Amino acid sequence: MISDSNIVETFDLTKIYKLKGKKGKIKALDNINISIKEGEIFGLLGPNGAGKTTMIQILTTAIQPTSGYAIIDGFNILKKPLKAKSRIALMLGREMIYYRITGYDNLKFFCKIYKIPNYKEKIYNMAEQFGLENWLDQYVEKYSSGMKMKLALCRTLLLNRKLLLLDEPSLGLDVKLKKYLIEKLKNVDSTIILTSHDMSFVEKLCDRIGFINEGKIIKIGTKEDITKAMQSKIQFEISINHKINELKKDLCNQNYIKEIYESSHGLMVTIESRKYFKNLLSVLGNYDVLTLKEQELTLEDLFINLI
């Protein structure tokens, strides 16, 4: 349930790293202003080096911003870092667990430093939910990748924080596990901010998505919002019986056509805006068109178009 109040707000958050030697500086984050509502699942997408991890590190107070600040559940991360930290649980893929002790000892350790009461019962309940109950007494080094990921997620959820920061939670998971993870995360009461390269995972899970590139948020909204905002590019798949080259030539002469190429399914045509759809239809009326299909923009298409 998404509430009206913000749990995370950033104000001109900027992080500058000095490069070695006299190579200058790099802006990992550039005046980031975002707000995330309580209960929301927010996906942060961006290419490698876009600033996703820096953002997570600042929110967890592991590093300090060069300028700007963030408020987490009412606490400024610079002025009240302990209070802000007490609201957060972080999952860094399958990292942040000790491989040389057992799964149970890992969970127990983190429960204790996060002051979780009655942790023993909670650990077994959580492990049972993730099918790890028979593995709790084994050293983590014996776990498979998927099991390590499950343990890392168990650890994060056990801490029972208001805000979960998940960095690449689906990395290396098979399709079945991913589906399982989506179901689990959808039923979590906490607010979730996640970063991922897995577009379908983000698409299925997130209420809102933010695209980040070169330290700047370049687009933010629901998947539908972003798609709508990008309606200037609409792609169609056209299959015709014959005269494909003639049609191609004809379409090339239309100035509203942005892109045209042949694919295994037929002709792929991109028009600038939906308002030119009628014009396209009038051209197609002269040909024996078998199918005309509008290509739905996937998150991956949006991502590629945006960066």
Partner 1 sequence: MNYFIAIKDNLSQIFAVVEKDLKLHTRFKLPVIMSIISPILSFILPLVIMGQIFTFNENFGPWTAQNFAVYILTAYQINIVVKIRGRFPSQFATEKVWKTLYAIIIAPFNRRNLVFGIYFTHMIINAVPFTIFFILSLIILPISILSIISLFIFYFFIALIFSGIGLFLGALAISKPSLTPLVNLGISIIYIFSCLSYPFEFFPENFQAFVIFDPFYYLFDFIRVIWIYDDIFLSIVTHPFHVFLIVGGAVILPLIGLWIFNFIFNKYGIIGY
Instruction: Figure out which of the listed residues 30, 37, 47, 98 binds partner 1, where binding follows CB under 8 A.
Output: 98
- Helix pair angle (145-158, 119-129), 10° resolution: 140
Q: Interhelix angle for 119-129 vs 103-113, to 10°?
A: 130
Pick between residue 80 and residue 248 the one whose CB is nearest to partner 1: 80
Among 110, 130, 135, 143, binds partner 1 (CB under 8 A): 110
| Residue 269: count of CB within 10 angstroms of its CB | 24
- Shortest gap between Cβ of 102 and partner 1 (angstroms)? 8
The correct pick among 62, 218, 281, 290 for binding partner 1 (CB under 8 A) is 62
**108 near partner 1, rule: CB under 8 A:** yes
For partner 1, the binding residues in 121-160 under the rule CB under 8 A are: 139
Which candidate, 124, 119, 177, 123, places its Cα nearest to that of 148? 177
The residue from 88, 173, 193, 226 that contacts partner 1 (CB under 8 A) is 88
Q: How far is residue 283's CA from residue 285's CA, in Å, rounded to a whole number? A: 5
CA separation for the pair 270, 283 (Å, rounded): 14
Q: 41, 90, 181, 234: which one contacts partner 1 (CB under 8 A)?
A: 90
Nearer to partner 1, 25 or 228 (CB): 25
Among 36, 85, 29, residue whose Cα is nearest residue 54: 29
Q: Which stretches of the chain bind partner 1, using CB under 8 A? A: 57, 60-64, 82-83, 85-86, 88, 90, 92, 95-101, 105, 108-110, 112-115, 139
